[in-house]
Amino acid sequence: MATPAQVAATTKYIKNHTRRFTIQFHKDNEADVISYLESQGNVTQYIKQLVRDDMARKEK
C-alpha cells in the first residue's frame, strides 16, 4: 500500500505532467467502432499512432 506521501507525489505528478481526453461511444450507433477499438492490442497506443500519422501527413 502506498503511503500518503507517495499518493500525494503521484497526484502532483499527474496534475503537472499529464492531460486526459475522454471520448464516449454510443453502444448501438457506434458498435462497429467499439468492436474495432477493442480488437486492438493497446487502444491508447493505437489512437496516439493515428494522431501522429495524421500530424505527419498534414506536415507534408
29-44 per-position pLDDT tens digit = 999 999 999 999 999 9
Distance CA 57, CA 51 (A): 10
Express each pLDDT in 3-58 by its tens digit.
999 999 999 999 999 999 999 999 999 999 999 999 999 999 999 999 999 999 99
- pLDDT (0 to 100) of residue 60: 82
- pLDDT (0 to 100) of residue 31: 98
DSSP state for residue 29 in the 8-state scheme: T
Distance CA 57, CA 59 (A): 6
pTM: 0.78
Distance CA 54, CA 34 (A): 21
